[in-house]
Amino acid sequence: MKESIRKTVEKLAHGYSVEEVTEEYGVEDGELRLVKRREVRKEVPPDLRAVKLLEEEEDYAALSDEQLEAERQRLLRLISRSAGTGQDGECAE
């Protein structure tokens, strides 16, 4: 996962706050003046989808060839179960 995307997903997973400023202007004596200013701080709760994405992420570059093959076989089994293909992970045609 790219570093900038990972940082964004981490921010979503942890939650964050946003400050929102609303300014309302009116014309007084022919001039534009600030009539009302409102500052609001909103708390954005943690996003569970982002948490799940971070938990599922693995560093495949650090795995050995045997671990990569085991992960490949596991994924093929998952795909075959969900798609109703053959037992060996190959698609039945």
State pLDDT tens for residues 29-72: 889 999 999 999 999 999 888 888 887 776 667 778 888 888 88
Helix (H) or strand (E) holding 60: none
* Residue found by looking up tokens 């569970």 in the block: 48
| Residue boundaries of the structural domains of the chain | 3-83
**Residue-level pLDDT at 22:** 96
**Residue-level pLDDT at 85:** 52
| CA proximity to 48, closest of 5, 6, 10, 13 | 13
> What's the pLDDT band for 4 if we cut at 50, 70, 90?
confident
Nearest-angstrom CA–CA distance, 82 and 36: 57
**Residue-level pLDDT at 91:** 47
Q: Look at 31 and 92; give whichever has higher pLDDT.
A: 31
Q: Look at 23 and 83; give whichever has higher pLDDT.
A: 23
